[in-house]
């Protein structure tokens, strides 16, 4: 199943107007909201690749910028905002509420796909919106940066890490022990932090599709 050409959308949150790309395959009942990682944006090549595979499986996707252009320019120089998990989570919650209210998506089940620091934001946002968020997938994520929220997450949560990304594997193992919701840790053989190895992102996408289809 192929999605239509993504629709450019503008998402009003409590403190910013953010740009996004919304793709909804015909007849879909699910939409996955992407939270990109450190120093990235909605144009992340890796996330867009995974989103395309999700679209082909019939899942809708929303990729959006967590930072405004001005904030991105600051972050390029200082790298300070990409680790501001409170800010990133607040923006993700704003996009979640936008999806829950928009006429195109308000009747769809909603999941999160977070990468790196975006995964920490997804953990916090899922804890704050338990009645809206049905499932969470983390790719190479830093759930340790959302340690205080882990025990409050109700959505089934899948942690995906490359088995060669040893420090992040350790951090995810610790986070898994703190999650009270249904959760799993899946290691992608031969993959490092950015999943640049041949087939690694395809493996990630298949794990994510299975998780979302089972829990949404």
pLDDT tens-digit readout, 105-116:
999 999 999 999
- Cα–Cα distance measured from residue 150 to residue 145, given in angstroms and rounded to the nearest whole number: 10
| 177-187 average pLDDT score | 97
Instruction: Give the pTM.
Output: 0.93
Domains annotated on the chain, with CATH: 7-215 (3.40.50.1820)
> Which pLDDT does position 39 carry in this prediction?
62
């Amino acid at each position: 199943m192929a999605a239509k050409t993504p629709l450019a959308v503008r998402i009003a949150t409590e403190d910013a107007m953010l740009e996004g790309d919304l793709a909804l395959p015909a007849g879909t009942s699910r939409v996955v909201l992407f939270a990109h990682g450190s120093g990235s944006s909605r144009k992340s090549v890796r996330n867009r690749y995974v989103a395309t595979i999700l679209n082909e499986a019939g899942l809708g996707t929303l990729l959006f910028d967590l930072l405004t252009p001005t904030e991105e320019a600051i972050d390029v120089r200082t790298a300070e905002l990409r680790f501001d998990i409170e800010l990133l989570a607040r923006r993700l919650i704003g996009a979640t509420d936008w999806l829950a209210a928009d006429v195109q998506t308000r009747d769809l089940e909603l999941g999160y796909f977070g990468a790196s620091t975006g995964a920490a934001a997804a953990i916090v946002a899922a804890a704050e919106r338990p009645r809206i968020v049905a499932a969470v997938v983390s790719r190479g994520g830093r759930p340790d940066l959302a340690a205080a929220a882990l025990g409050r997450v109700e959505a089934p949560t899948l942690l995906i890490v490359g088995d060669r990304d040893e420090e992040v594997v350790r951090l995810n193992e610790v986070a898994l022990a703190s999650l009270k919701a249904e959760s799993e840790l899946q290691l992608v053989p031969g993959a490092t932090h950015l999943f640049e190895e041949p087939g690694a992102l395809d493996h990630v996408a298949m794990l994510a599709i299975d998780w979302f289809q089972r829990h949404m």
